[in-house]
Amino acid sequence: MRLFSTGISLFVLFTLMACSKEQLEPVIVDPPVPITVKLVARDTIRQGSYEGVEIHSFVDEAYTVLEQHRQQKSVTYLSAVNTYFSDLTDLKNRLRQFDWLTLDESYDTDSGVQIELAAGKVKSLTLNNRRSLSQWPEAIDSKSALQVGDTPEQLYSKLVELSKKPAYATKFQKMVLTSRYSYAIYDPVKARLPWTLVYPKDNRSFDQVQIHFQDKQVAFITVERFEPL
């Protein structure tokens, strides 16, 4: 690593590190206490791996590694929060990993559909205007409509068919997967934006890591080591 000695204050970073990852409701926290740290090293990894994330691994593989770190509490902050999808096929193997799927037009509408999930299975259906549904769409045969209890496989199959119908195609302009976690898989369109993570080290030092993607694969990883002044 190339060494640096730049003093900086990371107010926002440590505020985010204190936030809960297990709830969606807004969390009110006290004003952050200023913590002054210095950047002591910086490196760019283009071969090999960092903390189990392999260079050239696919987005889903990187996600799996990060989820293991989250469960082990070895990562204190993750900022990969872009969960907007424009390609329905990107949802196929991801429904089990999230808690909600919202279908809507490019701009939010009252008729947008919120699908609550439990391990990928449909738990409830609600419009953006908070009206509960027994099925969606309401005007079609129940066998073709999304239903509470649909398995991930049934849900995806029905979504594919509904997306082909002109009457409902606009509701697939924006698909949003939401999780109780503070990170998620990036939309391919936004994959140029890095995922940011913080790995605590000994003596209150930490690594701030950015994982950069290209063509749905890890292109390179930047690592910055910070220590308290």
pTM of the model: 0.50
Query: How far is the C-alpha of 187 from the C-alpha of 63, rounded, in Å?
Result: 13
* Full residue range of the structural domain in which residue 38 is found: 2-81+183-228
Q: How many domains does the chain have?
A: 2
7 pLDDT more than 60: no
State yes or no: cis peptide before 152, omega within 30 of 0: no
Comparison of pLDDT for 144 and 36, the residue scoring more: 144
The pLDDT, as a whole number, for residue 157 is: 96
Pairing relationship of beta strands 174-178 and 146-147 according to DSSP bridges: unpaired
73 and 92 in a common domain = no
pLDDT at 81 over 80: no
- For 126-138, what is the mean pLDDT? 93
Question: Which residue did the predictor score with more confidence, 96 or 84?
Answer: 96
Last residue of a domain, one of 178, 203, 220: 178
Q: What is the pLDDT of residue 10?
A: 44
Domain co-membership, 20 together with 104: no
If DSSP codes are grouped into helix, strand and coil, which group holds residue 123? Answer: strand
Question: Is residue 127 domain-shared with residue 168, that is, in the same domain?
Answer: yes
Task: Please indicate, yes or no, whether residues 152 and 189 belong to a single structural domain of this protein.
Answer: no
Q: What is the mean pLDDT of the chain?
A: 78
108/60 same-domain check: no
Is the pLDDT assigned to residue 103 strictly greater than 80?
yes
